[in-house]
Each structure stands twice: as structure tokens, then as C-alpha cells.
Amino acid sequence: MKETARGKCVATTPSEVMCGNGHVAKLLYASPVGVLEIRGCAEGVTFLGFSGKPPENVPEKQGSTWDGMERGGDSPLRKRGLLACLERCAQELDEYFDGTRRTFSVPLCLTGTPFQRRVWDVLRGIPYGETFSYQDVARAVGNERALRAVGGANNRNPVGILVPCHRVIGKDGRLVGYGGGLWRKEWLLAHERSHAEKVRP
């Protein structure tokens, strides 16, 4: 099993959910802020959220497995092209939590309204180690009065961390409104600030 500095991935499982022309596969990733559930299809990552406590079968050692096979193994799911985005996402998360990556390039396959997509595009443009207020985001999408709608789109972001909704804070600088818990938001912002001067784009 390949060891990594931070993450460990276990168990990809196919589901009956559809995305475009492909079934969705799921991956559990153990991170410094808890287990992340990542879902994806042949078109890209569809979901990244906090899964809670690790399952009992998560290995103690850092590393990654895919249905009991090392990352890159010749599993049936990989033959259908369903694991490529999950593998890439896991690798980029390894680098992010190691403090060596500031942006994500893994393909995304997101479903949302045109307004939500504009908000998510703005979130992806917030520089690593910096923050925007909800007013900043509303201004960036062209409607300074749309604070509630911006908050709703931020809350409905399906791929936390990859689309960094944790970088949106209150106008007065307070940490508000993070579905993963404010302690995680605080950790992610502190992590980025501590590495902002030394990580690659």
C-alpha cells in the first residue's frame, strides 16, 4: 500500500446514482479535519463533504486502497473510467493538506442554478490564504443586494474545499455559516494562511 503524508483512502463503491453518461463511485478520504466523502463519475467530482467518524475498517497506516487494491490497480471500476477523478482528487487533497498545493485542477461535474454556478466560480477565484465577505461575493456576481442568495449558494456548494466556501466570512471578520462546523472552517483558514507564502499555484 502506498503511504502518503496525510490522507488515506478506502473503499470505492458504485451506486445507482447517475451523472451524465456514467454511474457515480464513492471514496472515503481520512483528512486532518475528519473523514471526507468524495463522489465522482466519468465527467468529474460531483460531491465532497464531511462524512463523520472513520469506519472501523479504515487502516491505521496512511495510504490508499481501491476495493483492496493499491491506487492505480486494474479494478473493474477503473476499466469503466469511474475512478480517475477520485484518484486525482485524493492526490490533490494529499498535497493540499501537506501544504504544497493552493489550487485544485481535478475536473468537477456540478449541478446548480446559473446563479449558484456564478457564485461557485467566484469562490474558486478567492486567493489561497485570503477571504471574501458575503458582500464581496455579491458584488463579484453583479448584485450587491443579493446577500441572502449568495449565502444560499454558498451553503449549497456540493464540493467543499475544492470550491473553497470556507473562505467566505462575515463583513466584520467573524467566521459564520459553515456546514462542516466552524472549527473546520477555522482550521482550513489557519492552514492556508500558514502555507500561503510557500505553496505552488
Catalytic residues: 165
Rounded Cα distance between 120 and 137, Å, is: 10
What number of residues does the chain have? Answer: 201
Helices 147-155 and 114-124 cross at an angle (nearest 10°) of 80
CB 177 within 8 A of CB 139: no
HEC states along 69-110?
A: EECCCCCHHHHCCCCHHHHHHHHHHHHHHHCCECCCCCCECC
Rounded Cα distance between 165 and 168, Å, is: 6
